[in-house]
């Protein structure tokens, strides 16, 4: 039997394919028991589109886009509908390494704004972790809105090396292990994008984030207008997960508003699995007519055979 | 005397006419529009071009960018073209049908009666019948690939 998953197997909560298996046994004792299995495989992709001004597009039609799955252009879809997700499950990662010291206070305030604003107005699930030195630290989980948790967050000092990729891998595992149906998993990363000490590679981090199914939104702590290597890393990781990248100047309010707007403008498209090659399948959604439209979705999924 | 002056004028004019003709030729020599459908797309190495040679001589003017360009498989009635864009962001709208014209190793694409065409380099041309045969063979080859024993478990362990 085949399983197609957009999470890696450690998180079986979400699968991209629905594979009904039917077993039929003999009805009487005299006839030998016979069984067969049948099934179909389907790819399900969550996406949203933005226009030339980087604003989410509210309404998308089947004729607006084509999916490029492992190089094959797919224009025939089984279904296209709005996502049913109504809440957010957010893990905020704050870079607390020495390299961001000048902007650390501002980034922490932004992270706290995200937490306090959302905790007070919605039932969204929050966790917050910082990373510096050799490993990431989980600062609070689900109780991040309490005064004691916030005091704890404000007491953090920035220093040491930057285990950015390890932190992303850790956060990806954390978010997929706590996934709840009906909630959109979102990672928000405040960083300059410069990893200095991780055991994981950048590729590991991208794989872990895309496999978790979470959308990564990055807030670039580098000076605006400077095209640093770190900024490029942040943008690429965010795009690979179907998320977006923002600058520090845009602030927490803008990031949150964008995440919510993206959630409201999200669709799920489904189509038959185009090929059964085991492993990673690359994904892109491209416009059929209007090149000003930009489609945001995860950049790959994993297909595997179940013995 | 007059004849030789005319000849001299012609000799002087000839390079100008030739250069003008050279610039005018590509747009005129593109044939009439054909119809096709893009069935595959991937990012691949950009084809070396004249401008790249100049860049190599002059050094990069902008920070180094990844040298990947979009490659499209364009299927027409009789011929299948593999074409490559000239930069990473030269995207073709993946409409059901695109109009294109061919000239030497270039293809000019137009979608939805757009006023502008996009030009692509032709990397490969295959007869449609040969390409169709190859496509029929592909699924069989994929099915024939040996699967690792317990591949599902192997994937899990690897992850």
Inter-chain contact A71–B63, Cβ cutoff 8 Å? Answer: no
Is the Cβ pair B94, A302 closer than 8 Å?
no
**3-class secondary structure, A257:** helix
Return the pLDDT at B141: 55
Question: Which of B40, B112, B142 has its CB closest to that of A277?
Answer: B142
Predicted local distance difference test score (pLDDT) of residue A32: 45
| Triad A107, A127, A170: Cα angle to 5° | 90
Of residues A65, A71, A288, nearest to B41 (C-beta): A71
Residue B21: per-residue pLDDT:
44
Identify which of A19, A197, A240 has the alpha carbon closest to the alpha carbon of residue B152. Answer: A19
Report d(CA A144, CA A92) in Å as an integer. 10
User: Which chain A residues are closer than 8 Å to B63 by Cβ?
Assistant: 227
Average pLDDT over residues B99-114: 85
Q: Which chain A residue is nearest to residue B114, measuring alpha carbons? A: A289
Chain A residues with CB under 8 Å of B153 CB are 307
Candidates B87, B114, B152, B153, partner chain A, best to mutate (most A CBs within 10 A): B152
Between A37 and A130, whose confidence is greater?
A130
Contact with chain B for residue A8, Cβ under 8 A: yes
User: Considering only alpha carbons, which residue of chain A is nearest residue B66?
Assistant: A232
pLDDT grade, residue B15 (50/70/90)?
A: low
Q: A9 touching B, CB under 8 A?
A: yes
| CB within 8 Å of chain B, chain A residues 58-97 | 65-66, 68, 71-73, 75
Confidence of residue B155 (pLDDT cuts 50, 70, 90): very low
ipTM rounded to 2 decimals: 0.75
Per-residue confidence (pLDDT) for residue A43, from 0 to 100: 94
Whether B95 sits inside 8 A of A286 (CB atoms) is: no
Each residue of B112-122: b (16+ CB within 10 Å) or e? eeeeebbbbbb
The residue of B39, B94, B151, B157 whose CB has the most chain A CBs within 10 angstroms, and thus the best one to mutate to test that interface, is B94
Question: Are A75 and B142 within 8 A, CB to CB?
Answer: no
Is A9's CB within 8 Å of B156's CB? yes
Band of pLDDT at residue B71, cut at 50, 70 and 90: very high
Instruction: Quickly count: other Cβ atoms within 10 Å of residue A94's Cβ.
Output: 30
Nearest residue on chain B to A3, alpha-carbon basis: B152
Q: Which token pair is A213?
A: 């199914």
Comparing A123 with A232, which gets the higher pLDDT? Answer: A232
Chain A with chain B: Cβ pairs closer than 8 A: 67
Least confident of A89-93, A105-109, A175-179: A105-109
Among candidates A71, A72, A289 on the partner chain, residue whose Cβ is nearest the Cβ of B95:
A289
Question: What's the confidence (pLDDT) of residue A255?
Answer: 87
Q: Out of B3-12, B130-139, B146-155, which region has the weakest mean confidence (pLDDT)?
A: B146-155
Could you report how far apart the first and last alpha carbons of chain A are, in Å?
6
Contacts 24+ apart (CB under 8 A), B44-50: B44/B68, B44/B69, B44/B70, B44/B71, B44/B84, B45/B69, B46/B84, B46/B85, B46/B86, B46/B87, B46/B88, B47/B84, B47/B121, B47/B123, B49/B86, B49/B121
Radius of gyration over alpha carbons of chain B, in Å? 23
Judged by CB atoms closer than 8 Å, whether chains meet at A66 and B152 is answered as no
Band (A185; pLDDT cuts 50, 70, 90):
very high
**Residues counted in chain A:** 307
Are B93 and A288 within 8 A, CB to CB? yes
Chain B residues close to A277, C-beta within 8 Å: 142
Q: Among positive and negative, which fits the CA dihedral A210, A211, A217, A219?
A: negative
B153: its two tokens: 């478990």
Nearest to A10 among B151, B152, B159 (CB): B159
Mapped to the 3 state alphabet, what secondary structure does A148-162 carry?
A: HHHHHHHCCCCCCCC
Predicted pLDDT of residue B3: 57
- How confident is the model at residue A243, as a pLDDT? 95
Cβ atoms within 10 Å of A247's Cβ, excluding its own: 17
Q: Which residue of B has its CA nearest to A283?
A: B42
- Closest residue of B to A12, CA-based? B156
**pLDDT for the residue B135:** 86
């Amino acid at each position: 039997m085949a399983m197609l998953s957009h999470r890696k197997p450690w998180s079986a909560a979400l699968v991209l394919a629905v594979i009904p298996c039917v077993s039929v046994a003999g009805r009487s004792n005299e006839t030998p028991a016979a069984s067969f299995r049948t099934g179909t495989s389907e790819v399900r992709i969550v996406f949203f589109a933005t226009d030339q001004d980087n604003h989410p597009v509210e309404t998308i039609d089947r004729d607006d886009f084509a999916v490029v799955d492992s190089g094959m252009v797919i224009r025939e879809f089984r279904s296209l509908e709005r996502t049913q997700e109504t809440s957010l499950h957010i893990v905020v990662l704050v870079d607390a390494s020495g390299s961001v010291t000048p902007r650390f206070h501002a980034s922490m305030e932004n992270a706290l704004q995200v937490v306090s604003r959302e905790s007070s107005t919605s039932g969204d699930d929050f966790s917050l972790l910082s990373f510096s030195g050799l490993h990431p630290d989980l600062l609070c989980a689900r109780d991040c809105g309490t005064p004691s948790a916030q005091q704890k967050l404000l007491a953090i000092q920035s220093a040491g090396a930057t285990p950015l990729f390890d932190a992303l891998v850790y956060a990806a595992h954390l978010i997929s292990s706590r996934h709840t149906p009906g909630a959109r998993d979102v990672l928000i990363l405040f960083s300059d994008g410069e990893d200095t000490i991780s055991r994981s590679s950048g590729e590991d981090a991208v794989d872990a984030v895309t496999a978790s199914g979470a959308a990564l939104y990055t807030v670039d702590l580098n000076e605006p207008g400077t095209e640093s290597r770190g900024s490029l890393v942040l943008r690429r990781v965010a795009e690979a997960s179907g998320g977006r990248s923002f600058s520090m100047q845009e602030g927490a309010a803008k990031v949150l508003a964008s995440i919510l707007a993206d959630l409201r403008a999200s669709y799920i498209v489904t189509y038959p699995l185009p090929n059964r090659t085991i492993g990673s399948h690359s994904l892109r959604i491209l416009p059929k007519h209007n090149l000003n439209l930009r489609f945001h979705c995860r950049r790959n999924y994993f297909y595997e055979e179940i013995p | 005397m007059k004849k030789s002056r005319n000849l001299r004028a012609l000799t002087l004019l000839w390079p100008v006419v030739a250069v003008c003709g050279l610039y005018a030729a590509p747009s005129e020599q593109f044939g009439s529009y054909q119809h096709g459908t893009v069935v595959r797309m991937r990012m691949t190495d950009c084809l070396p071009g004249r401008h790249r040679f100049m860049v190599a001589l002059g050094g990069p003017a902008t920070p180094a960018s990844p040298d990947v360009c979009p490659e499209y498989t364009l299927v027409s009635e009789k011929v299948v073209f593999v074409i490559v864009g000239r930069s990473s962001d030269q995207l073709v709208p993946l409409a059901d049908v695109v109009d294109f014209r061919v000239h030497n190793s270039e293809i000019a694409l137009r979608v939805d009666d757009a006023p502008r065409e996009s030009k692509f380099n032709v990397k490969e041309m295959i007869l449609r019948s040969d390409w169709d045969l190859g496509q029929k063979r592909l699924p069989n080859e994929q099915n024939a690939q040996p699967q690792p024993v317990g591949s599902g478990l192997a994937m899990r362990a690897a992850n």
